[in-house]
Amino acid sequence: MTLTTDITDFTRRDFTFGGKTKPVLTIGDRGPAIIVIHEVFGFTPTLARFCRWLVEAGFRVYAPILLGTPDATNAEKISQRRLLGLCVSREFNLFRNGKSSPIVEWLKPLAHQAHAECGSPGVGVIGMCLTGGFSLSMAVDPVVLAPVLSQPGMPVTNAAGLDISPADLAKVKARTRDEGLEIQGYRFDGDPLSKGEKFWTLRREFGDAFTGIEIPASAGNPNSPLARAGRPPHSVFTGDLIDAEGEITKSAVMEVTGFFTRALKA
């Protein structure tokens, strides 16, 4: 699929929950809803491509814009201004272990709205990088039936830590035990931003309810912005993905859409 900043096939909608209004890019006209939460870069051409793949698989996508501009012109790099903004933001929990980010309280009503509009048993959620753990915190809500953590990186000061409160963690664990909720995670092996220790913690807390897929670093896109900067791959479904049949990262797309299908279309 060709990468482009043209997202005229998406529709911008503004949603207000708890007195806060944020833009959401939507695409698709049939099927259950998937909440796709962008990386620290904001909404990018590679994220738009991933959203389109979900639509092709029979889903409707709601992509909230939490950082950057509500289009696909955001570059896959982090500016000092962005980092400073994150450090002082009250919506994101970058550093504290055992604490859910406040922005999750805005995202959960969005999941309810998407469910009301799309029907089906519930919704799927995928967070990436900065937002990777958001899908776990959102899974306290019964409407979330398929949480996916892609290269979760928060809190940055604790490789094995989870950005979810103990109370919320207990609720999600109860759902895995009582409702059969399943959780999936993806990361590149050797990723210094999303380390293996985090998956060890998730396996310890959730047992067989958590499936962690660790992709060899050699499968990353050698032409990605990170690779060109001499850094290991990080973005499983976006910048470090190789869009070609037979590639491990492209197969991961089929795998995650299969997970959403089993959970939401059964």
Which tens digits make up the pLDDT trace of 112-166? 999 999 988 999 999 999 899 999 999 999 999 999 999 998 887 889 999 999 9
Percentage of the chain modeled with pLDDT above 90? 77
Q: Quick one: tokens of 7? A: 């997202």
- The pLDDT value given to residue 218: 97
Across the chain, mean pLDDT equals 91
Residue 212: what are its φ and ψ, rounded to 5°?
-105, 115
- Whether the per-residue pLDDT at 95 is higher than 50: the answer is no
- Whether the per-residue pLDDT at 89 is higher than 70: the answer is no
- The pLDDT value given to residue 11: 98
* 225-to-89, 98, 145 alpha-carbon distances in Å: 26, 32, 33
Percentage of the chain modeled with pLDDT above 70? 92
Q: CB atoms < 10 A from the CB of 160, how many? A: 15
